[in-house]
Amino acid sequence: MSKKSFLKGLTNLILDENLQDLVASEREILTETIIYIREVDCRKMFLSFGYPSLFEYLTKRIGYSNASAQRRIDAARLTQDVPEVIEHLESGEINLSQISVMAHLIRQAGKVSQKVDGETKENLVNTIAGKDLKQTEVIVSRTLNIPIQEGTKTKHQKDESVRFEITLTKEQWRKFNQARDVLSNSLPNGSDWNNLIEYMCDDVILKKDKAAPRKIRASKVFEAKTAKTDLNFDRDQVHLGREAIPKSIQREVFSRDNCCQFQSKITGHKCSSTWNLTLDHIQPVWAGGRNSAENLRVFCASHNAEVYREQTGTRLV
């Protein structure tokens, strides 16, 4: 008997009972999944698997949609401060959409230097339990004194174009209009907003080679801070023997690699991220490595730090 035929034979009461059982089982599976994701995040396991972030790991390896992955990440990270949220999720008193709203507003608070401590998060979780999404937005926004704003929305359309919606502050909107006025005589395809964005993006991309050396200098500072923090090295020891990489070699390596070259020994997956790129010495400088193009490769900042920890035996805590 097919599943459809089986269901047709059920009474309304039995159908209702079975559905409630399935939903309860679904919530149990969800909470267990959240716990697993939290452990993956704590271990930073996604780095050794070849992914630059937990989000990339969940979308590209596990197969979640962008929105589903982000909601689960928000829930997993909230459980680190408020373990009780797992019980609320399993009982159905709180859902992932509520947690996503709460996490979004907490991030907004962080942007205005308003740190939200664990106690506040716990109080918010207990308060929004049993509330609907709109009530949750109001409660969290009032508690954090953050106005409710529409988040960024991206929609991929049939013709492969993308609809992109954002909310700008008054000052951002002023700057956007000022930029359009300044470039009004330079825009080859008119002053529509999409042409303005394309023109500014093209300008940034053309300046990429000039920006690359600045990225390297930033990564050097990052490496030095990591060394000093993780290993308690003396500052002079960190910089001992370190010479600046010639700009011509920096440009050569960035032009050659273009993206993060880290490849997982476990999965064989290559990171290929183009975000926050840095230079990494294949043979470390402290082990006699040279500043030659052959001894340099492009890594994203996350994998640069991960390889550094592996090379120095530093544990992630």
pLDDT band at 158 (very low <50, low <70, confident <90, very high): confident
Asked if the model's pLDDT at residue 316 lies above 90, the reply is no
Give the lowest-confidence range in 130-134, 201-205, 235-239, 285-289: 235-239
As a whole number, mean pLDDT of residues 101-108 equals 93
- Least Cα distance to 103 among 127, 129, 79, 119 occurs for 79
Average the pLDDT over 44-48 and give the result. Answer: 97
pLDDT band at 214 (very low <50, low <70, confident <90, very high): low
Reply yes or no on whether the pLDDT at 189 is more than 70: no
Same domain, 227 and 291: yes
pLDDT at res. 238: 38
Same domain, 7 and 113: yes
Q: Are 296 and 176 part of one and the same domain?
A: no
Whether 222 shows a pLDDT value over 60: the answer reads no
Residue, of 24 and 239, whose pLDDT is higher: 24
- Asked if 299 contacts 262 with a C-beta cutoff of 8 angstroms, the reply is yes
Q: Report the alpha-carbon distance of residue 233 to residue 86 in Å, rounded.
A: 40
**Do residues 26 and 103 share a domain?**
yes
Stated pTM of the model = 0.74
* Tokens found for residue 244: 């600046």
- Highest mean pLDDT among 27-36, 177-186, 210-219 belongs to 27-36
pLDDT of residue 1: 63
Q: What is the pLDDT of residue 67?
A: 93
Side-chain-side CA neighbours of 12 within 13 Å: the count stands at 0
Q: What's the pLDDT tens digit per position in 73-102?
A: 999 999 999 999 999 999 999 999 999 999
Whole-number pLDDT of residue 303: 97
Does 217 share its domain with 125?
no
Q: Rounded distance, CA 259 to CA 265, Å?
A: 18
Q: How confident is the model at residue 217 (pLDDT cuts 50, 70, 90)?
A: very low
Instruction: Give 60 or 235, the one with higher predicted confidence.
Output: 60
* Residue at which a domain ends, from 105, 128, 144: 144
How many domains are there within the chain?
3
Mean pLDDT across the stretch 179-196?
A: 78
Domain assignment present for residue 154? The answer is no
Look at residue 150 and tell me whether its pLDDT is greater than 90: no
For 260, the domain range is: 208-312
Six-digit token pair at 133? 């999404």
Using CA atoms, how far apart are residues 118 and 120, in angstroms rounded to an integer?
5
Task: Decide if 161 is inside a domain.
Answer: no
- Both 202 and 212 in one domain: the answer is no
The single residue listed with the structure tokens 């082990």 is: 287
Residue 16 lies in a domain: yes
